[in-house]
Structures are given as structure tokens and as C-alpha cells.
A and B are shown apart, each in its own frame.
Chain A
Amino acid sequence: MIQFTNVYMHYPGGTDALKNININIEKGAMAFVTGRSGAGKSTLLKLIALIDRHSRGQIIVNGQNLDRVRKNRVAMFRRNIGFTFQDHRLLNDRTVFDNVALPLVIAGHRHNEVKKRVHAALDKVGLLPKQNARPMTLSGGEQQRVGIARAVVHRPALLLADEPTGNLDPALSWEIMCLFEEFNKVGVTVLIASHDLDMIKRMKKRIITLREGHTLSSLTDSKSKT
């Protein structure tokens, strides 16, 4: 699903954010990217989502070589990806329902289909009763769950999560992680950036550790299962 070959990322005016990264994440896998702040976790996710373009090397996501995805195709490319963020990035002037519906509205789905799918997604994260609430009135954990519902409502092949548990207490964090695992079980490839090493170790999934732009260890799926 995600294949990095000798990938470098150099921000103009800065140092190399990523140096010679080689990763291969299989379709349907669930993996964590960890490392200290500034190690390149967010950069890695941004390259996959084409928010930034890598400087050197080759990235293949979902069978597409990212070098060949031209600017006017980026939007279509992103429709196959779901995102969640540490700060949720929900739209506070819209209801929970409207927030979750956004990816479907962008894709131009009919109203009854939007309604059906949004209800299903909210039901999955346990927030169906709050569909008419404003995000500001929800707790941090609930807001993160709304973000997850928004990230999966359009049934993307790949789910990217940047520090999804950053502001949550351990119990809530564990709940959120289990939610990601459930989506992974139905076939979504999940890649989560997190610095909460204790918790992600308990998840018993593959862990990619970054330090100063290098991959320190990249256990393969088979190794993590043993």
C-alpha cells in the first residue's frame, strides 16, 4: 500500500527532515510511526498525503507513483485517504453531522446516501446521538471520535492519523486505538504517528521508529507478530 524507496525530504532553508527512508507497508496492515518531536513523523505522513512533495527517491501509495500525480490530480488522489489530527480540525460552525459529511459532500454524493453513511460512521464511533451537536460542546475524546468518523466515512483505502491521542488520558487513548484497530480489521490500511511508545507497544503492531530523519528500526509485519 505504501512503499518508500530511498526517500529524502529537504525543506527549503532547513535541514533534511527525512534521510534515505525505505519502508514497505502492506495493504491492510496497521503500523505506527514513532520518534521524538521533530524526528520526521509528521513529514512522513505529509509526503504520503501529497501535502508536501519529497525531494528525492520514490514513493508509491495505493499503486500510484507520487511523482506522477500531477497537481490537478492531487484532489482525486486524496479522496482515497482519510485523515485525523491531534487538534481534530473540526469546523466549529457546523454540526457533527455536517463535519462528518464533508468528504461525501466533496465527492458529490446524493443526500440520502450521505445521510446513510454519516449515520453509519457516527454509529461506529458511538456518537450518533450527538449528530446535531456543535463540536465545541463535545469532550476531547468525543471530538477525536468525530474526526475519526470523518476520516472513514468515505471508505478510504488508507487511514492516516497524526498524534490521534495526543491530548487524551490513557484510558481514552486506548479506546481510540481500539477504534482504529476495528477499522483496520475491515480492510483499511492504517498508519498512525504517535510518540506514546508504551501504548503502541501494547497494540502489538509494527512500529517504525524515526530519529533525526533516519529510520532507526522498522520491524516487518512478520517480526512484530512473533
Chain B
Amino acid sequence: MIREERYILQKGSTRYGPGYYFESWLLQHLQAFFFSLGQFCRNPLSSLLTASVIGIALALPAGFYVLLENAARITSGWESTVEITAFLKNSVGNDRALEMVKELQQQGNVAEVRFISKEEALEEYRQLSGFSEALDTLQSNPLPSLLLIKPALSKHPDVDVETLLKSMQELPEVDSAQYDQLWIKRLNAIISIVQRAVLILAVFLGMAVMLIIGNTIRMMIFNRRAEIEIAKLFGATDGFIQRPFLYSGFWYGLAGSLIAWLLISISLWLLQGPANQLAGLYSSGFTVSGLGLRNAGIMFLAGIFLGWLGSFISVRRHLRAIEPA
């Protein structure tokens, strides 16, 4: 036993040093890398078809993600226009109200406070309602003074509007306070549900990508059965045999990601015109934002990883079954 082991070791160590082994490892990786690329390019149509299916499967969740990002950007623009209206008690005079404005402006979570006195409110109402004559008959001004408070959302996006509202309601001078843009909160809640749904979709489609690549690799393995048998007979390790298939998975993932990126870019380009038109109608400076470098990078990494993983699982399952006979 010991003698036999030494035989193997001597054969290796006396002829080559560790550098040689590293070099041949690197060489074999390069060979597999380019060999699998060659295989990919040799059947351009079938490779492209497989890569396109992967591309669509990757583009769907990534595309939805981009749309949601844009939707979230629009609503966050709306959220910064949230204003709390605090109606003051009748007993509070204008002097006290102006003091309150100064006090509130000291607070960090408040961006701007505007005071509208009862007189100003009545004047505004008179102009807007068209009931000016009817109002003239009133003995006293029925309208309350009010404070319009803008939360400092643009500076501190995490300012809690609810807390601010509550503190307004607790002020002794305030009769009631409200903020009327609850629907934005509801819209955001809906968006986060859709975001979760897109995440689930992404998981399913990621699995689909793995299955597609796994099946493609399985076919490749069986097409190259004779070659695998011969290679095993001449002393190829499992690592040597599976390497080109793993690189094939890499190429499919990369090509699929590239196609997904193209699909998303084209779709966004098609949406750009109508979106700009709509933004123009709302006189908003909104433009559709793309995938971005970071997200594109994540998509490419995910595509390559799924390709590799699908290939790895397939290779593990099917390569063992092929033994020379």
C-alpha cells in the first residue's frame, strides 16, 4: 500500500513542481473556456434560441422591477407635497399663531409653515366661492385660522408624517389637524405588494432559467457521450470533463443576460416618448429611468450564476452515468 502510494507521488513530484500544476490547471481552464465558446458559436441558431428564452425569462422580472422603480419615483415626488392642515381654535389670536409659526419652524421635521388668518381665509373663500354677497350678511367670521405645515420630507425622507400629525393634534391651540393624502400611502402599499409579487416571479423565472440551461447541458452531454467515454478511458478526471459544460452554462447565462438587457433597453426606449408626453401634461420633469449600471450588473451576475448552477446540477446528475464500457 505505502509502496504504491509512493510510486504515484514520485511519478508526480520528481518530474513537475507545483508551478507546473498551477500552470496546467490554468491552461485547462482556458481551453475549456474557449472550447465551450466555440461550441456555442458552432450552432449559432440553436444557441441563440436558447439564449433568447433565457433572456426573456430574465427580462420579465428585471423589466417589472424597472417599472416599479419608476412608479415609486413618481409617488415619492408626490409624497413631498404632503401638507398638514392644522385648524386653530377660535380663541387663538393672530399674534399667538405667528409665534406658533416661529416655534414650529425651529423643529427639524418641519420644512415650512404658513399661517392663514381667518380674515385671509374669508377673503380667499369670498373670491373662490362666488358667495361674496351672502358672506357679507354674516355677523362674524365663521372660518378658523389655520396653519399649513410641510414636513421636511425632501431633506429627511424618513420623517414620519404620522408622528408629526399627532403632535399637531396634541397642541392645545389646535382644534383639529389632518393630512389628506392618505391615498398616496395606499398606493405605496399596493406598489410594495406588486414588488413582492415581482420578487416571487423572479424566483420562478430564475428556476426556469436553471431548468432550461440544465436541459440544454443534458443534451450536450449526451451528444458528446462518445467523447466523454474516451476521455475517461485516457484518465480524464470528473473536473476535466465537467469543465467545458460548466463554461457552456456560463456562456448561456451571459448571452441570456445580454439579450435581457437589450429587451429592457428597447422597451424603455419605446416607453420614453409617451411617458414624456404624459409628464409634459402634468408639467412634471419626470423621465423614465433605465436599469442603471448597478442593476444591470446584478442582472448579469444573476444570469451567469443561474447558468452555471443549472449546468452544475445537470452535469452532476448526468456525467456520472457515463462510464466507458
Contacts and interface: CB of A to CB of B under 8 A. Distances in A.
B283 interface: no
Contacts of B21: 108
B323 interface: yes
Contacts of A107: 24, 235
Contact of A102 (B25, B230, B324, B325): B230
B1 A102 contact: no
A186 interface: no
Interface string A17-50: 0000000000000000000000000000010010
A91 interface: yes
A75 B324 contact: no
A68 interface: yes
Interface residues of B, number: 28
Contacts of B7: 63-64
Contacts of A63: 3-4, 7
Given A51-B324, A64-B7, A89 B230 contact: yes
B4 A154 contact: no
A75 B236 CA distance: 6
A155 to B, nearest CB: 12
Given A64-B4, A91-B226, A106 B234 contact: yes
A154 B324 CA distance: 19
For A75, A77, A109, which residue has the most chain B Cβ atoms within 10 angstroms? Answer: A75
A106 B4 contact: no
Given A89-B226, A91-B227, A108 B28 contact: yes
A211 interface: no
Contact of A79 (B227, B229, B235): B235
A49 B233 contact: yes
B234 A78 contact: yes
Interface string B1-18: 101100110000000000
A183 B237 CA distance: 27
B235 A78 contact: yes
Interface in A50-69: 51, 63-65, 68
A154 B234 CA distance: 9
B64 interface: no
Contacts of B229: 89
Counting chain A CB atoms within 10 Å of each CB, the highest count among B21, B236, B325 belongs to B236
A83 interface: yes
Contacts of B8: 73, 76
**What 6 pairs between A and B have smallest CB-CB spacing?**
A108-B24, A79-B235, A78-B235, A103-B234, A106-B236, A75-B237
Interface of B: 1, 3-4, 7-8, 21, 23-25, 27-28, 31, 226-227, 229-238, 240, 323-325
18 contacts: A49-B233, A63-B3, A63-B4, A75-B237, A75-B238, A76-B237, A78-B232, A78-B233, A102-B234, A103-B234, A105-B28, A105-B31, A106-B235, A107-B24, A108-B21, A109-B24, A110-B23, A150-B234
